[in-house]
Homo-oligomer: A and B are copies of this chain.
Amino acid sequence: MEIKLSNLTEINGLTKPTGTSALGMKLALSSGKMKPSEVLEECIANIDLYEEHLGAWAYINIDGAREVARELDNKKPSGALFGIPFAIKDNIDTFDMLTEYGTDIYLGYQPGRDAACVAGMRSSNGVALGKTICTEFAHRHPGKTANPWNIEHTPGGSSSGSAAAVASGMVPIAIGTQTTGSVIRPAAYCGVIGYKPTYGDFNISGVLANTPSFDTLGFFTNCVDDLVLIRKALLDESIPEIKKLSLKGARVAIAAKPYWEEACASSQQMIEEAAKVLKDAGADVFALEDQGVFENLSEWNIEVSGYEFARTLAHERRLAFNKLSKILRDGRMADGFRVAFSSYQAAKKNLELLRIKFDGVLNEIDFIICPSAQSAAPKGLDSTGSADFNMAWTSLHCPVISLPVALEKNTGLPLGLQVVGARNSDDRLIKFAEAVFKCLTS
């Protein structure tokens, strides 16, 4: 077995400083070892080194961030994200930074208020550093961002800049959004932790809609435990932290469906190896019995996302149709106009019932594992890769965490392991993911 974890150590020939986690920063800040301004300057130093190669940012607000950090320098640490710099995908509104939604149609656009998630992170004393590149309207037409592991490869999308910024140490936390695989895929391609929460857990007001029935926030970090800080910041400071969860006796299902046969040899090998290691750690590992859940899922997903996306962009369709990319017009938007309202309604209803059925399936399972994507990041920046491996879990509203646990043999690029939990079990899933990550990479 040649697959092993490796940290990203250089970007375009430059040595990358060891990425610090938000939790590491928090400890340094709360113990007084570092001040918010010093933490911020480490991030800015990495931006200076790597941004010209990676193109992760749509807008960087260094002056604004420095001002906030300086104010925090004189305060007693408080708030879940005290002094932690973070980046925001550019389909999320910010009252003090341009928000361009990944399209020339909105060049120079300045919203009037912060999205709920941005205001929440700021209320927890996080430091907003800027806006990260998003594909066009969070669909498939790519922005300028390159993959930090090899700049000739895609970083994935649609949260391209958020994934690249965290992978290159420019920020410890970046907010993204996922409608199909827009967090998990770029996290896997860029070798960082990616987290797609249970649908509805996080307030998405102020986020440009794509497909409201599936849209969620998502987060990129270098450390699983950072996700706990984010949940405290945005949901409830008092969420009781679950103690470590043991893999001994954990019920782990391997999902071969719906797309196993499309996974590359390295991805399949990663799962087989992971299964072996988890078994050795005492987990009860078995194949997922899906009870037919995946049978029509893809069709229903396309009907719902097509129908909703085409209508979400009604304004641009009306006034800027020719400025939309061909892939957007001929892709999800065209899907939407092929779907009758009655089919859309039926697909939504079917998915609702399927989610409840899948809750039942997951009653007997602690978590599912499968590859985060078919393969490592494909070569070329003209496509962001496929979301096929993420579609099912997103449609089912399940929480998912992508863990960078292996490198692909031929390219040396990272592979992601997708850990999937039952709806509303995010806090447990995070602890299981932490245990899996340690087990597979130690």
Mask, A225-244, CB within 8 Å of B = 1, is 00000000011101100000
Cross-interface CB contact of A95 among B113, B114, B118, B315, cutoff 8 Å: B315
Could you say which residues of chain B place their CB within 8 Å of the CB of A258?
A: none
> Whole-angstrom distance between the alpha carbons of A184 and B424 in the complex?
33
Encode A308-323 as 1/0 by CB contact (under 8 A) with B: 1001111111110000
Q: A236-B341, A349-B424 are in contact. Are A315 and B203 (CB under 8 A)?
A: no
Interface residues of A in 339-364 (CB under 8 A from B): 340-342, 345, 348-349, 352-353, 356
**Additional A-B contact list (6), CB under 8 Å, known A203-B311, A239-B341:** A109-B112, A111-B111, A114-B315, A119-B314, A205-B209, A205-B312
CB distance from A411 to the nearest CB of B (A): 39
Copies of this protein in the assembly total: 2
Tell me the minimal C-beta distance from A336 to chain B in angstroms: 10
CB distance from A333 to the nearest CB of B (A): 13
CA distance A32 to B232 in the complex (A): 62
- Establish whether residues B111 and A112, one from each chain, have CB atoms under 8 Å apart when the complex forms: yes
**Chain B residues with CB under 8 A of A239:** 341-342
A20 close to chain B: CB less than 8 A: no
Q: Determine whether the beta carbon of B238 is less than 8 Å from that of A213.
A: no
Q: Does A146 contact B (CB under 8 A)?
A: no
User: What does the 1/0 interface line of A184-219 toward B look like (CB < 8 Å)?
Assistant: 000000000000000011011110110011000000
Instruction: Say whether A120 faces chain B, with CB atoms less than 8 Å apart.
Output: yes
CB distance from A428 to the nearest CB of B (A): 12
Over the window 95-137 of chain A, the binary record of Cβ atoms lying under 8 Å from chain B Cβ atoms (1 yes, 0 no) is 1000000000010010111111111101100000000000000
Q: Answer whether A212 and B206 are a contact pair too, CB < 8 Å, given A315-B116, A317-B119.
A: no
In the assembled complex, the CB of A208 is this many whole angstroms from the nearest CB of chain B, namely 7
Alpha-carbon gap, A342 to B312, bound state (A) = 31
